[in-house]
Amino acid sequence: MKPNLLCKQIDLIGQAIMLLPLIGIILPNHHQLAFYTYFTVGAWQSFSCLMTFITHGSGSDSRQVYSWILLSILTSFGLSVAIAFAFQNVQKMDWLVTSLAGYAYYEALIMLFAGPLLATWYGFITVTEYQQLRNEMQHRKEIHWKY
C-alpha cells in the first residue's frame, strides 16, 4: 500500500475513533464526554489538515477553502484570547479585555454549532481524497498488468 493511501486510511480511522465519545450523548450522566469530542475531533482534524498541507501542499479547492476557514477561526480566537490575557491587569485596557473576551466567548459559542458542520465537511474531503487515491492506484495496476 502506498504511503499516501495509508495516511488517508489512518486519518479516516483516527476521525472515527475521535467520534466514539459521542456515544456519551445517549448514555446517562456522560454528556461531558460528548462535549470533549468537539475538542478532540477539532484537534485531530486541525493536525491532519496541517500535516496534509506540509506534505502535499494546498490540495483540492475544497481543502483550500476549509484550510482558510480553519486558519481564520483559530487565528482570530487565539489572538483575542492572548491579547485579553496579556492586558487583563492593565486598568486602562479594561474595555479591550472585555471586548476581546466577549468576542472569544461568542466565537466559541458559535463553534459549538459550526464545529460539527466543519468536521463533517472535512470528513467528506478526506473520504473523497481517499477514494481518488484508491482509484488512481487501481488504474495504475490495470495499466501495469496490460503492458
Q: Residue 132 above 80 pLDDT?
A: yes
Give the model's pLDDT for residue 1.
Answer: 47
For residue 95, with 0-12 CB atoms within 10 Å meaning exposed, 13-18 middle and 19 or more buried, which class applies?
A: exposed
**pLDDT (mean) for 43-70:** 82
Q: What is the average pLDDT across 138-144?
A: 69
pLDDT single digits (tens) 91-115: 777 777 788 778 888 887 888 788 8
Please answer whether residues 94 and 85 qualify as being in contact, where contact means their C-beta atoms are separated by less than 8 angstroms. Answer: no
In this predicted structure, the answer to whether residue 30 has a pLDDT above a threshold of 60 is yes
CB contact at 8 A, 49 and 62: no
Length of the chain counted residue by residue: 147
More confident residue, 94 or 65: 65
Task: Indicate the pLDDT class of residue 26, thresholds 50, 70 and 90.
Answer: low
Residue 43: its pLDDT value, please? 83
Q: How many helices (H) and strands (E) does the chain have?
A: 4, 0
pTM value surpassing 0.75: no
